Amino acid sequence: MFCKSLKTFIQPVLIAFGVVLVLAPGVATQAQQNDEGVIEEIVTIGTPGGAGIEKRDVSFAISVLSEDEIAKFAPKSTADLLKAIPGVWVESSGGVSGANIDVRGLPGGGDAPFVTLTMNGTPLYGTESLSFFEQSTIFRVDETIASAEGLRGGPGAVFGKGEPGLTVNFNLKRGHEETEGRVKYTTSDYELMRFDGMLSGQLAEDLYYMIGGYVQSSPGIRDAQFTSEEGHQFTINLTKEFDQGEISLFSRVTDDHGQWYLPFCQNCGHDLGDFSQLGTATRMREIQISPSGDTKVYDFSNGRGWDGTVSGANIEFDFGNGWTLRDNVGLTVGDADTFGFVPSGAAITVADLEAVVGAGSVVTAGGETLSSGDYVQTYGHWVVMKELQSFTNDLSINKEFDGGHDVTFGFYQSSFSSDDFWSLGNPIPVHNTANGDFLDSSITPADIAAAGGDAGFMFGLASAGDARTSAFYVADSWQMTDAFRLDAGFRQESIELEYTLDTGPGYPDGSRDSATSLDDDQSAYTLGANWDFNEDLGFFGRYSKGYVFPHFDNVREGQLEVNDVEQIEFGVKFVSDTFDVFATAFFNNFDAFSGLVGGGPPPERFETDATGIEIDATAAFGMFNIGISGVFQNAEITQSLIEDPGNPGSFIPSGNKGNKVLRQPDMQFRISPSVDFELGTWVGTAYGAVTLVDDRFGDNANQQPLPSYTKVDLGVILTSDTGFFVQLHGDNIGDSHGFTEGDPRSSAAVNSRPIFGRSVRLSVGYDF
């Protein structure tokens, strides 16, 4: 299967090389006129121990986003920013937390099962993703971020956390001898209030600081009639320099949450850009939480978010004679809770319901009698409480030997846990309108189901999971000649996992369902080659094999398999004063995957192949600039089995073989032009972005088509020579209504979740 699929790999490789050949003549002329066409960005992920290497010298696919590029993107959430990384599919339409993130056609379909986030090279959590948790949930972008790096595939499977998919590293700003700072206030057409601040400088000789954070609140773009997005964050980064190295200590305290936006009825006349079912009438709900009848009132304005702390240390010392020690330490502690108002089944008309309960009897809890053309639907209040803790340490020793060998030995450890309480379902009929009320208590979910809707369900659990991993890795970067380098790496990792589970009908029933232990070990490896054809043009190739261990929710679902990821990459790099072009052709094969796809029963085991080409390019012509990033890919299910309903534990063909992997488009691109100008004593940049997204399917059966869409953003930044600046940013100015997902809880596409509608933000600030 793997060799057969390589035939389809040739075409995107030729495209990658063709892009460079088309651009090369004009670029070469410019390079001859100016020999300073080099990339000065230093990337740290993808290197053993985070040693750092110039971007133009890497032998893997990586994108770097500067502080200015992040500002122009103006992301509404951390996940939103990841759309700037080619090959990454992001569904950030769920709000400030709880995105779905996929990479390179790997079959995710929910949360982010192949994505690791790091801060200063330190992983935020010990495993990629859990149910109702992906790592962008516990990270917020603010003015303390200096840059972001996005590594796809390649050596990520061996170093650090050992992530075969996507690793995103956020580098904190750090202090220098000069005191610098920024204050900024932001508002919007949806009543946002946000204040950001950052200050950095020198505390004492060789001791530097950076502090910063924000406070913000708003009703949200999808107005829920109350302050549905609010929070604050504070970050500190201290750096002490020594004659032979340095130590940095950082800590970030966050308490931030926002409404969890969910799929909703698309044929009920709602405004797709700002509709919210949740409102003041449905904000509070009393829910049974134990078999003895105990109840608790929950406030669903809390949505999804993070209340916790991420801290760490970066240590690096040069001992001379080519020996260097590095250690990255991380500690994450906090709560990542979810409070959602979730649709169940299709909306129906009041006329349909009246056929069951009688004409004129459909009344809201507030006393409003609904007309026959109004819509009603079953919704449920979902409660997920997650108490998370993670401790990681990545220790490495590097030695530069004669003969061009740069060898690293590393030891990575992690200890992480998740203590959960869930109460899912809790169905209740509502008037399906913006901020609609409950129906009168005489109408039940069963009545909605009898009229063609859905009765909903009840499910609850209490669980506790603890896991420990230990990994040894070794790498050698061999500079064989001035132009040719070989990179090799190997990782051996073991995991010990303990998990205890108690489930029940909307609450844990007090009897233990299972107590499971898992003990496994796996190996990963990578081999890459880099050839600098000249100082402007380079090529690389890489093979890597990685894995993803089961996590607590996999164990709960009885899925204990280790999932393997095999990848081949070929890349072209062309760098000059005028053009930067990075094109990477990739092929990956994913085997024996089950559980994280589809969102529910029956369990599915399958194999996928994905072939594609990623483009990450920029060009500068005087005052004009343009960036292009995106991917062409083909991700296909090559084998698919589902559990036999009549014979649990046995699997039969599902009929999905040959289908597209769910949700991810074959093509998505972002084209971002800008122009620099002067206006008196002000320097300005007018910028825009056009995002093109191909059609997709919301399910592996390819029965939920999601059409293509285009999104346009525009903005302008003005900066005075006194330090004052103004930014006006318009997001989705065409008010596009592209859908990011169907209904993962229904086989029919009765509900869908669109992107946010048009919004405008205004920021004013001062740099000093």
Residue 760 — very low, low, confident or very high, per pLDDT cuts 50/70/90?
Answer: very high
Tokens of 303: 């949505």
Collect all residues with Cβ–Cβ distance below 8 Å to 107 and sequence separation of at least 6: 590, 593, 596, 597, 606, 608, 635, 637, 661, 662, 700
CATH of span 2-767 = 2.40.170.20
Separation between Cα atoms, residue 584 and residue 526, nearest integer Å: 16
pLDDT one-digit tens code per residue, 437-471:
999 999 999 999 999 999 999 999 999 999 999 99
Separation between Cα atoms, residue 461 and residue 503, nearest integer Å: 4
CB 634 within 8 A of CB 611: yes
Collect all residues with Cβ–Cβ distance below 8 Å to 359 and sequence separation of at least 6: none
What secondary structure does DSSP assign to 112-157, as a single string?
-TTEEEEETTEESSSSSEETTEEGGGG----TTEEEEEEEESGGGG
Q: Which residue matches tokens 């972002």?
A: 670
What secondary structure does DSSP assign to 376-440, as a single string?
EEEEEEEEEEEEEEEEEEEEEEEEEPTTSEEEEEEEEEEEEEEEEEEEE--EEEEE-STTPPBBP
- Whether residue 34 has pLDDT greater than 70: no
Which residue type is seen at 8? T
CB 219 within 8 A of CB 189: no
- Whether residue 137 has pLDDT greater than 50: yes
Chain mean pLDDT for the chain: 91
- In this predicted structure, what is the pLDDT of residue 384? 98
- Domain spans, the chain: 2-767
| Cβ atoms < 10 Å from Cβ of 403 | 8
pLDDT one-digit tens code per residue, 52-66:
888 888 899 999 999
Helix H or strand E encompassing 626: strand 624-643
- Whether residue 5 has pLDDT greater than 50: no
For strand 193-204 and strand 264-265, is the pairing parallel, antiparallel, or unpaired?
Answer: unpaired
- Phi, psi for 352 (deg, rounded to 5): -65, -40
Distances (CA, A) of 56 to 64, 334, 482: 11, 38, 14
Secondary structure (3-state) at 353? helix
Please compute Rg for the chain using Cα positions: 26
Residue 749 — very low, low, confident or very high, per pLDDT cuts 50/70/90?
Answer: low
Q: Residue 620, class by beta-carbon neighbours within 10 Å (0-12 exposed, 13-18 middle, 19+ buried)?
A: middle
55 secondary structure, DSSP code: G
Separation between Cα atoms, residue 550 and residue 497, nearest integer Å: 9
- Whether residue 10 has pLDDT greater than 60: no
Sign (positive or negative) of CA dihedral 601, 602, 605, 609: negative
pLDDT one-digit tens code per residue, 216-272:
999 999 999 999 999 999 999 999 999 999 999 999 999 999 999 999 998 899 999
pLDDT one-digit tens code per residue, 340-357:
999 999 999 999 999 999
Q: Residue 299, class by beta-carbon neighbours within 10 Å (0-12 exposed, 13-18 middle, 19+ buried)?
A: exposed
